[in-house]
Structures are given as structure tokens and as C-alpha cells.
Chains A and B, each alone.
Chain A
Amino acid sequence: EIVLTQSPGTLSLSPGERATLSCGASQIVGNNYLAWYQQKPGQPPRLLIYGASNRATGIPDRFSGSGSGTDFTLIISRLEPEDFAVYYCQQYIRSPQTFGQGTKLEMK
């Protein structure tokens, strides 16, 4: 199984700042089959990015994804108050699909 390791575990930033979240894979994620999700308390996950760099429908352009192989990044260019949440990466190239353990983005 492909293990995804997200860093940092917690990121403390202020609105208006730039957030950089990382996701490392234990094996190559072929076809860049890597997605990012945002989850707020009491809500299901929300798809942000698929195919490593494609924004899902309705996702603001301050969210961007990049990377290939085993190293992937989610960048939020200018944080809005509603962006503070937990973020998960997911690989879907190989079964079982796996998720990272999450990065909590908290307001400083």
C-alpha cells in the first residue's frame, strides 16, 4: 500500500498569508493521481484538487496544486478566514486508495 505523509502536522498562519502544505508518497503516484480535500468540523471532506493540479468545480483560484512522482504540494496563496480547516491528500492510482494523516491549518 502507498503511504502518504503530510507535513507539517499543524500550520499556524494569519489571514492574508501564504500556506504551503506537503504530501509525500512512499511510492511513485503514477498519472499524478493525487487529490486534495478540505474538511471543516462537522462537515464531510470537500474536493479541492484532483490529478495533482486540477481545481475542482467552484474552487477559488487561490488554491493550487503541484508536484509529481512522490512529492506533491497544495498552496493557498492568500488565506481567507474560511480556509482554516484540515487538509488531506489522497492517492488513487493503486488499491487500496490511501489518505494522508492530514494537516491542520489553524489561525495564528
Chain B
Amino acid sequence: QVQLVQSASELKEPGASVKVSCKASGYTLTDYPINWVRQAPGQGLEWMGWINTKTGTPTYAPGFTGRFVFSLDTSVSTTYLQINSLKAEDTAFYYCARIGRGPGWYFELWGRGTLVTVSS
């Protein structure tokens, strides 16, 4: 079954770091780039950027530079989102998403999301 399996929810204190994982199952990770999307509680969707799964090169959307880091480990078919120096406003669901087979980068396959809660 083709799916993206994300890590469990996290509770962190302000200033800490968190690393969210997204494992590709049922297909070859390097065949498609992986995108990351943030959704604050009760809010809309924000595209954070993507990682080239062939080269490991990340691209960050405006507003997601500096504290946010995309990485991957192809040996375990997994991509990662690390957020450093966590702030309360980072509390959100974080989704990984894979593009479809058609032209353009619409998101055909989504992980179930990882809730990161930042609170003291």
C-alpha cells in the first residue's frame, strides 16, 4: 500500500528542537520530491517547501527559512523536518505530501500529520 507514515505527536518546551519523520511505504522515495505543509489549529494550509529526494537539496518557502531544516535518509526511505528554537506559534500539524503523476505539483498523497505542541 502506497502511503506516507509520519511520527507521533510531540510536546516540547519553548526553545527546544523537534524532528518529525515521514517514511515512504509502497513506492521508491527517490521517485518523487516530498513537500511539507503546516496547519495551525483551526487554521488553513501553508506550504513550507520541499526536498529533492534524489539529491537531498531542500527548498524553503518564505517564512520558513532559518529554524526549519528538511533532510532525508534514503536507506530507510524517510524524510525529516527539524524545527529549532521552538516558539509557541510553531504549535501546528505538520504534514508531508507527495506530488502526483500529472503535470505540476499538486499533492496526491499525504501523511496523516504530526501534531507538534510547544508549551511550557
B-contacting residues of A (Cβ < 8 Å)?
Answer: 1, 31, 33, 35, 37, 43-47, 50-51, 54, 56, 88, 90, 92-93, 95-102
Contacts and interface: CB of A to CB of B under 8 A. Distances in A.
Given A44-B111, A45-B45, 9 more contacts: A33-B103, A44-B95, A45-B107, A47-B100, A51-B104, A88-B44, A90-B45, A96-B61, A99-B44
Interface of B: 37, 44-47, 59, 61-62, 95, 100, 102-108, 110-113
A99 B46 contact: yes
A35 to B, nearest CB: 4
A50 B102 contact: yes
Contacts of A90: 45, 106-107
A76 B93 CA distance: 28
A51 B105 CA distance: 10
A35 B112 contact: no
A98 B47 contact: yes
A102 B104 contact: no
